Amino acid sequence: MPKGAQTQAVSSLLAYIPFVHPINFFQDWWWVLLLPLSFGIAVIYKAMRVEKLSRYWRQVAVLTVQIVLGMIGLALALMVLVQWVIPLLPVDNGN
């Protein structure tokens, strides 16, 4: 790596402040992270709530699917609200 590029890379890492300047690496395909995140939530939640371990992985799979479908449903409902309902609301022009 050339010296100038290395200096620029180090200075950009030193200037990184989490939560103030987030890394936009997953900005275009953030939805890919929905499946591992919902699976992790389901594994932890069901580990504390399941009564019999014989049904553990089935219940984890069901909860994962429920979380993903719930997020898709919320996204569709928000899309309908923003695209069709809000434009129909009356606007006060201040006259």
Length of the chain: 95
Check residue 65 and give its pLDDT. 97
**15 domain-assigned:** no
**11 domain-assigned:** no
Total number of domains in the chain:
1
Per-residue pLDDT of the chain (95 residues; tens, 9 = 90+): 566 666 666 666 677 777 777 777 777 887 888 999 999 999 999 999 998 899 999 999 999 999 999 999 999 999 999 999 999 988 887 76
Check residue 11 and give its pLDDT. 62
**80 domain-assigned:** yes
**1 domain-assigned:** no
Check residue 29 and give its pLDDT. 81
Enter the tokens of residue 15: 């200037």
Write out the residue range of the structural domain in which residue 65 sits: 25-88
Check residue 71 and give its pLDDT. 95
Enter the tokens of residue 95: 């006259």
Question: Model-level pTM?
Answer: 0.69
**7 domain-assigned:** no
If you write DSSP's letter for every residue of 24-47 in order, what string do you get? -TTSTTGGGGHHHHHHHHHHHHHH
Check residue 42 and give its pLDDT. 97
**56 domain-assigned:** yes
